[in-house]
Amino acid sequence: MKIVRFTLLSLGLFLSTASPAQDFSNNEQLQTFIQEMNQKHNFETDRLRQIFNNTRLHQSILDAISRPAESKPWHEYRPIFVTHDRTSGGVRFWREHRDALQRAEEKFGVPPQIITAIIGVETRYGRHAGRYPVLDALATLAFAYPPRSSFFRKELEQYLLMTREEDLDPLEQKGSYAGAMGMPQFISSSFRRYAIDFDGDGKRDLWGNPDDVIGSVANYFHKHRWKPGQPVAHKVRVHGKKYRQLLDNDLRASHTQQELLDNGVILPRNIPRDLKGNLLELDTGNGPEYWVTWHNFYVISRYNHSALYSMAVYQLSELIVAARNN
């Protein structure tokens, strides 16, 4: 907690001096970054200066990243993402893109409902893919958000490389306040590493091509070692007090089933014996709820390193399957 208080205090002091400026024309860190991009990747410095002269700092971005949805308790987080609208939208998306989803499952082993739920949670199937210029978002966070400036500076580098490789105008692309792009909200490094041309038209289009979006999400999970046919999570009961020692912030499935049983976790039957799990406690607003999460739950969390996010994706995927089968 001391680290968090210090970070927010430092950020508040920084923003009090940074907020009046709405451009980066006198930002020394940016000038250093431009020189680095020239030396490392042979970008023309004059061209980069011209680009960044049209880039703006957004206070709303700094405000948004300081209060992410993942900071909410589960009973407030779940109603944002696990909704009737996203469920019915998922059924429509699956129906409209059935062939691409089937092909993605055959090639990468990732079920259609998981791919669909990711796109539903991220952008409501493309309806809300972000309104900020990606360059503005990344520059704001790289040069005006000290807690994560190193990460976003790397993403800004990746973004400029990506737009050069894909022949895109860096000033024209829109995304989230954190610089995530397209229907699946890939950040720049993920785009370069995991986006694929799934329909063979020679482009990797995550903004307007659902086939590429579906294939890229499936590839992302495949590369993070999704295990076809294995479960994601099971709601469980607990007894005694020993189970509490299994609760931690590590999302890796690291406990053997015997270890879970010995600590008071009542597991469902017919789980493959070599499968390891993790115990998760969720605040329902009316008391705690317990889940054992398996390896594939951890894989979902590689998309967004949050247990709440992964559980929202999983529960939405289950609702989509149920609604589609009715």
Per-residue pLDDT of 88-134, as tens digits, reads 999 999 999 999 999 999 999 999 999 999 999 999 999 999 999 99
Judge if pTM exceeds 0.85: yes
**What mean pLDDT is predicted for residues 9-16?**
39
Look at residue 279 and tell me whether its pLDDT is greater than 50. yes
| Residues catalogued as catalytic | 122
Look at residue 11 and tell me whether its pLDDT is greater than 80. no
Q: How much helix, strand and coil, in percent to the nearest 5, is found in the chain?
A: 55, 10, 35
- Residues 169-186, buried b or exposed e (16+ Cβ, 10 A)? ebeebebbbbbbbbbbbb
DSSP code for 290:
E
What was the pLDDT predicted at 1? 34
Domain-located, residue 29: yes
Q: How confident is the model at residue 21 (pLDDT cuts 50, 70, 90)?
A: very low
Q: Minimal CA–CA distance to 92: which of 118, 116, 114, 111?
A: 116
How far apart, in whole angstroms, are the C-alpha atoms of residue 191 and residue 323?
A: 31
Q: How far is CA 296 from CA 1, 202, 211, 231, 283, in A?
A: 30, 31, 23, 7, 22
How far apart, in whole angstroms, are the C-alpha atoms of residue 160 and residue 176?
A: 17
> Which range marks the domain in which residue 52 is found?
2-67+130-180
What was the pLDDT predicted at 18? 42
* Mean pLDDT of the residues in the chain: 92
Please answer whether residues 198 and 211 qualify as being in contact, where contact means their C-beta atoms are separated by less than 8 angstroms. yes
Domain-located, residue 231: no
Domain-located, residue 36: yes
DSSP code for 186:
B
Which residue bears the tokens 């055959």? 106
Domain count, the chain: 1
Which tokens in the block code for residue 81? 């993402």
* DSSP H or E run through 318: helix 307-325
**What mean pLDDT is predicted for residues 291-300?**
98
What was the pLDDT predicted at 127? 93
Sign of the CA dihedral 160, 166, 167, 172?
negative
> What is the DSSP track for 123-146?
HTTTT----EEHHHHHHHHHHH-G
What was the pLDDT predicted at 22? 72
Domain-located, residue 144: yes
CA 219 to the chain's CA centroid: 15
**What mean pLDDT is predicted for residues 296-304?**
97
Which tokens in the block code for residue 106? 């055959």
| Residue 56, burial from CB neighbour count under 10 angstroms (0-12, 13-18, 19+) | middle
Q: Tell me, what CATH number does 37's domain have? A: 1.10.8.350
Domain-located, residue 246: no
Domain-located, residue 137: yes
Domain-located, residue 30: yes
Domain-located, residue 112: no
